Structure 1
Amino acid sequence: MARAINRMSARTVQTLAEPGRHADGDGLYLVIDQNGGKRWVFLYRLAGRRREMGLGSLRTISLAKARELANRARTMVAEGEDPVEARQAEAPSPDPAPIPSVPTFAEVAEAFMGERDGGWRNAKHRQQWRTSLMNYAAALREKPVSEVSTSDVLAVLRPIWREKPETASRLRGRIERILDAAKVEGHRQGENPARWRGHLEHTLPKPGKLSRRHHPALPYAEVPAFVAALRTRVAASARALEFIILTAARSGEVRGMRASEVDLDSGLWSVPAERMKAGRQHRVPLSRAALDLLAPRLAVIDRNDFVFANSRGDMLSDMAFKRLNLRVGVEGITTHGFRSSFRDWAGDETDFPREVMEAALAHMVGNEVELAYRRGDALEKRRQLMELWASFVAAENGVPSRKASRSQ
């Protein structure tokens, strides 16, 4: 029967803490000393004698390298040669072997991002990683990754923790992942200095308690009057903003919308994954008001044209909505804020489940297990909700009826 080999994983060798020998298989062992030190040994038998060959510390020899050295020694034993004696003959000098150089934080970061280059959600997400590490973690770049400490991480995070809490929180997570990768590769030992739970949470304020920049939103009771004012204007930006309000979509999703994404017969708009924040396709049920807005535009453009193009046929600028708000006479609100207006209305004025409201906003609600089992997108329930929202938006007096019925 063949011997079991490669029993351990890179993560296992880093997390094992019990003193003693831990077998990887076929003579290769990880030895953990009483003081916590970890080293590799290869045990073999030659000419009736049992021998032990040291392969080096886990600090300098990764699991993959240890397997390579053990396999080389195993071949020598099979040929009747003693690997310990051979090593002594090759290295008569008593000087120890040089310790392999430790990569810098920047080198590990580049390798980490390079290996995931094809798995990023989109080019923007990949660029955000590189930009944040270049701009805010520059002090770590040339430091040997094994020497990055908690004080180093704090020195990077503290200057932006309060001023830019969202950026700082994402940066901390990215540094943590890079240092975890360095540990798996055998370049670090001990706890991760960028870890939040049980570590940095005792030093830095919780991100949720820091002042956050919310998107200023129009109170939902004022939305019907705003839409009525929009309908007096003929610009493409006015129709696009009205459509954004009717669908509770994000600005970029609508500005990049092409005719081929809309199915008027089924009343459905399919937003491709590359234009969605979550990186997955989103189906938007279109209310009668949204369909009435789209139909005349789709009748005069090609499938690949932008539905709401500017005068040159190009995608609208987000600034067009800001200028439009000022012309309508409303200041201090953002386009994104209309999503909040919709969510407040849905929570206050309807009895739809929270999951349906969040699905209408393309938000993913629940933990990984819940999401795995909830494969549907509540399309028909969302269709009812969006019809109610369109009716409210069109209300002449702007006063909503309380707790609108789903069967309405």
Structure 2
Amino acid sequence: MSLTQKVIQNITTPGKYQDKYGLALRVSPKLSKAWIVRYTFNGERRDDGLGKFPDVSLAEARETAMAMRLSASKGIDPRAEKERLKEVAKSAATFEDDANEFISRHRHGWSQAHTHQWEASMRDHVFPIIGKKAVCVIDTKTVLTVLDPIWREKPETARRVRNRLERVLDYSKTLGHRDGDNPARWRGHIQNLLSNVLPTPVPLESMSYQALPGFMRRLEAEDSRAARCLQFLILTGCRSSEAMGARWDEIDWEHSVWRIPAARMKGNEDHEIPLSQAALTVLKETGTRGRSELIFPNKACTAEMANNSLRRLLVDKMGENCTVHGFRATFRTWLQEKTDFSNELCETALAHVVGNLTQRAYTRGTQLEKRRPMMEKWARFAVERMQPPVPRQGMSPVLAARSPILKPLQPFT
């Protein structure tokens, strides 16, 4: 009688339990369970171990046992074949090799943020587990070692990781580094092993627009590059990656415009933001012009600030219960409730896609000048109610009263 998964789980008596294809389950006195397969090669009867249950499932054990007996019947030594495959695996391309090459080949068509997300997910969730494993031997069990630890705890991350595993393994097959079905595919495969129930996405916490002026007053008192970056992010309605990666050569001082290239945009399209006087003042206060190509670099002015710099300032230091990205929702809510700007103009300000494909094909402009009054009005709301200004650390009350963020500033060259 063949074994079943349920029968195996309920075995509590030591012994040897036969299955098919020469496969048997050996249960030790301590009730540990391991697979063995019996086959005959060149007249010699052999018993080879296949691994422990449940590390090796019943289906996997049967598949391996059947393959070994078939090899033996064709005059191929299963043990020698196993060693050969080990040697192949040692010299074969690893998953990390192919993943990095895949990212390198595609990054020119991705935004900087999307590239960073790919690299971060590989670094944090995949490479530590299977990065050094030969891509030719990655199977369903291997894929599950990556997904199981995060499938319930971080479902959205896990969904993206699975998709990226599938894409890299397809790429490896195209290169000839592996063959067979893709063990990371969802439909008809991984969906049979992992639940497809994901929690309803929860909107990122945002600050109410009524609370923003008071927060901006406190933020003005913070004397750090992260504080200036956060001010700039709020005043321009941009994403954190766009603000933290902002470069001086993207600023058009003559026309007071920040031109963000497509490579740094989530939608992979160029985006222009008219700069209010308050935003221009923040740029002047950074003190990094001429010292770095980046507007808000790290302390050494050699690279971008750490990814969590703005969050640490907002949550850890200033004690706010909201996210950096949530300020975009604050901006959008204020536009909707306190202004008469059109929905199209508001969505364009946030670099959101507006209209269907046909409409976008015939709408080539950025409505930059129509958006300029919007950004000035937003800046006045956020900044002008900051009176009286709060001195930054080490700043005298007299200088604080003259804080340039409260006064109009002419573009400088």
Query: Which TM-score applies when normalising by structure 2?
Result: 0.54
The partner residue of 2:257 within 265, 268, 278 is 268
CA offsets per residue over residues 89-147 of structure 1, 9 Å max, x none?
xxxxx999xx9989869647734643652432457456336424323546x934745x7
- Structure 2 residue identity aligned to 1:162: R
1:133 corresponding residue in structure 2: 126
2:18 corresponding residue in structure 1: none
Counterpart CA distance in 2 for 1:292 and 1:299 is: 11
Distance 1:185 1:258, change over 3 A: closer
- Structure 2 residue identity aligned to 1:302: G
Q: How does 1:201-220 map to 2 (within 5 A)?
A: 201=191, 204-206=194-196, 209-210=198-199, 215-220=204-209
Distance 1:372 1:112, change over 3 A: farther
1:293 deviates by 4.0
The partner residue of 1:257 within 246, 265, 278 is 246
Counterpart CA distance in 2 for 1:108 and 1:370 is: 42
The partner residue of 1:148 within 139, 144, 155 is 139
Alignment of 1:165 with 2:152, yes or no, is no
The partner residue of 2:290 within 282, 285, 302 is 302
Counterpart CA distance in 2 for 1:188 and 1:373 is: 45
1:228 deviates by 3.0
Q: Which runs of 5+ in 1 are unaligned?
A: 1-93, 399-408
1:383 corresponding residue in structure 2: 372
Distance 1:205 1:313, change over 3 A: same
The partner residue of 1:175 within 157, 161, 165 is 165
- Structure 1 residue identity aligned to 2:163: G
**Percent identity of equivalent pairs:** 36
1:391 deviates by 3.5
Counterpart CA distance in 2 for 1:156 and 1:116 is: 19
2:31 corresponding residue in structure 1: none
CA offsets per residue over residues 20-53 of structure 1, 9 Å max, x none?
xxxxxxxxxxxxxxxxxxxxxxxxxxxxxxxxxx
1:282 corresponding residue in structure 2: 271
Counterpart CA distance in 1 for 2:312 and 2:247 is: 23
CA offsets per residue over residues 270-304 of structure 1, 9 Å max, x none?
2345544555543222124323444x448994385
CA offsets per residue over residues 41-83 of structure 1, 9 Å max, x none?
xxxxxxxxxxxxxxxxxxxxxxxxxxxxxxxxxxxxxxxxxxx
Aligned-partner SS, 1:270: strand
The partner residue of 2:236 within 247, 251, 262 is 247
Aligned-partner SS, 1:117: helix
Distance 1:95 1:261, change over 3 A: same
1:216 deviates by 3.4
Q: Which moved more, 1:382-391 or 1:198-207?
A: 198-207
Counterpart CA distance in 1 for 2:191 and 2:341 is: 37
CA offsets per residue over residues 137-172 of structure 1, 9 Å max, x none?
46x934745x734x6544532321121223311221
Distance 1:385 1:369, change over 3 A: same
Counterpart CA distance in 1 for 2:374 and 2:250 is: 21
The partner residue of 1:230 within 205, 214, 219 is 219
Aligned-partner SS, 1:341: helix
1:291 corresponding residue in structure 2: 280
- Contact kept in structure 2, 1:260 and 1:304, CA below 8 Å: no
Q: Which runs of 5+ in 2 are unaligned?
A: 1-73, 388-413
The partner residue of 2:106 within 99, 102, 119 is 119
Distance 1:212 1:289, change over 3 A: same
2:382 corresponding residue in structure 1: 393
Distance 1:244 1:182, change over 3 A: closer
Aligned-partner SS, 2:126: helix
1:339 deviates by 2.1
Q: How does 1:287-366 map to 2 (within 5 A)?
A: 287-294=276-283, 296-297=284-285, 301-302=289-290, 304=292, 306-308=294-296, 321=310, 325=314, 330-350=319-339, 352=341, 356-364=345-353
- Structure 1 residue identity aligned to 2:333: D
Distance 1:312 1:180, change over 3 A: closer
1:268 deviates by 0.4
Aligned residues, how many?
298
1:307 deviates by 4.0
1:247 deviates by 0.6
Distance 1:391 1:196, change over 3 A: farther
- Structure 1 residue identity aligned to 2:238: A
1:20 corresponding residue in structure 2: none
Q: Aligned Cα RMSD in Å?
A: 4.8
Distance 1:286 1:114, change over 3 A: same
CA offsets per residue over residues 294-350 of structure 1, 9 Å max, x none?
4x4489943855545677666656666556547995433333332232233334445
1:222 deviates by 0.9
Distance 1:359 1:198, change over 3 A: farther
1:9 corresponding residue in structure 2: none
Distance 1:284 1:212, change over 3 A: same
Counterpart CA distance in 2 for 1:391 and 1:340 is: 18
- Structure 2 residue identity aligned to 1:259: W
